[in-house]
Structure formats: structure tokens, C-alpha cells
Amino acid sequence: MQRIEHRACFGGWQDVWEHRADTLGTAMRVGVYLPPQAAYGRCPVLYWLSGLTCTEQNFITKAGAQRYAAEHGVIVVAPDTSPRGAGVPDADGYDLGQGAGFYLNATQPPWSAHYRMHDYVVHELPALIEAHFPADDARAISGHSMGGHGALVLALRNPGRYRSVSAFAPIVAPTEVPWGRKAFAAYLGEDPAVWREWDACALVAQARERLPLRVDQGEADEFLATQLQPERLREACAAAGHPLTLRLHPGYDHSYYFIATFIGEHVAYHAAALRA
């Protein structure tokens, strides 16, 4: 691992590291915030998954999470949203290819050789973090938009892996909206039954763990009706008896202004679960 950024922040350190990711077959960058408590012992970890077009930089520079992570003694890990590099397949547009990994394991060429973000986030990255940093094995996961989809799906697919999960403006039913259909057809092929294995609304119906889902959604979000449709998750959770807290916020859009407003509540929520 090579540290490429190192900045003092709220008594701790906001770093960015680069490493070779075997799962993805390319180099990856990841933001790691170490709270001041990490100087004295191991801390639990909150994994943050960002949305379309983002890198690790968006969250660590715009969300303001470090203040709350320092208060609660939580390490925050923010990976990039996809594999990148000259040898990694890409596509025109912002919603497929580099910057749009969708946190799944692609099965279709040319994507399948590199686009395995599920295995990277769930397995390779935590092993790296827990080996190289003062991190214990208590994990939580959160994210925004495509990353909110990722947080929900990774938690639902991996019972016992995370102590808590939350999302901002997630794509809750990717099999039913344009962003998800485009990406899933490319990465997974044309069989909708395979798509459902990466759809939070479908996974809730068969969940083996009743990990509560927490979702915040802005009512002025420009993607609310076309891409996000949180009512689908409400209906799926009601039908399955799965615990869900869905909060709708008048006036808030899809931007990091929304995330920065409520990130403190989310960090506190995860910190309580991680310390339980």
C-alpha cells in the first residue's frame, strides 16, 4: 500500500491510499479516516459507497463525516466506485463503465475481468483494512445513490457481515429503473432473474437476517420519480416484515448538501450499532 494523501482532520488523519486490488485486477484508491481514538487502540469501521461518477474524493471532501467519526471513534473507509485504468473497460456516458461499478460481480465480457466490486468491498478491502490499520472486525455500511443501492444489497446478501446499514437516496429497485436496467444488462446479461439477485427490493423478500434498513430521501431530488422510487422499498419491506426506517425530507435534492445535513445522524446511528 502507498499513502498518497495525509491530512490532519478533527484530531485524526484523513488519508488516501493506493493499492493493487487482486479482485479487480487494477490499482485502486481508497480514503481512510482514522479518528484520534485510533492512536490508542482498535476502532470499528464504517464503509461508505459513493454514487455514479464519484471517486473516493467526493465523500471525504464534501460530506463532513470526519467531525462525527472523530466524536464517536469510528474509522471511515471510502473506496472508489469502480475499477479504473487504461486496461479497464469503459463506455460512453456516466452511467456505465468506469465510475459506475454498481457494486456487483459482472459476469459478461468485457466487464467480468475487472468489475467485481461486490467481492472487493465485502472481502478484499476489509481484509486489507483490518490487517494494515487499527481496525477491528465490527463493520457498518452506508452509501449514496448507486452507493446506497450497494450498501443495501451488500448488507442483504451477506448476513452477519455488517452490524448496521443505511443509505441516502438509494436506487432501491434497479431492475425497474433506467440506471439499473442499463447497467445490469451490460454487466449481468439479459436474464431478469439474475438481475434480481442484485436488487434490494427483491432481496428483502428472501433475507435471512432482519438487519434494519435506514434510508433518508430528499423530496426535491431530481431523480426521485425516475430512478429512486423509495416507495418500492417501503412496499417490499412491509410485505416481508423487514424493519425499515424511511425518512422523507422536503426541499432536499440529490447533492452532497443533503448528505452533509444528515451524515452526523447516520454516523451516530452506526456508532451505536458498532459499539453494541
Cβ-based neighbour number of residue 86 at 10 Å: 6
Residue in 144, 254, 266, 270 annotated catalytic: 254
How many CA atoms within 13 Å lie on the side-chain side of 149? Answer: 32
The CA distances from residue 239 to 11, 38, 61, 140, 152, in Å, are 45, 42, 39, 25, 17
Q: Collapsing DSSP states into helix, strand and coil, what is residue 46?
A: strand
| Residues in CB range of 47: below 8 A, 6 or more apart | 77, 78, 79, 121, 125, 126, 139, 140, 141, 142, 151
Measure the CA angle with vertex 38, ends 37 and 39; round to 5°.
90
The backbone region for 189, taken as left when phi is positive above 0, alpha when psi lies in -120 to 50, beta otherwise, is left
Q: Is position 19 annotated as part of the catalytic site?
A: no
CA-based torsion, 241, 245, 251, 254: positive or negative: negative
Gap between the terminal Cα atoms of the chain:
32
Residue in 50, 142, 145, 164 annotated catalytic: 145
How many CA atoms within 13 Å lie on the side-chain side of 264? Answer: 7
Q: Is position 118 annotated as part of the catalytic site?
A: no
The CA distances from residue 205 to 54, 130, 201, in Å, are 30, 32, 7
Structural Rg of the chain based on CA atoms = 17
Residue in 82, 95, 221, 266 annotated catalytic: 221
Q: Is position 221 annotated as part of the catalytic site?
A: yes
Say if CB 106 and CB 116 are below 8 A apart: yes
Residues annotated as catalytic (active site), given as ranges? 145, 221, 254
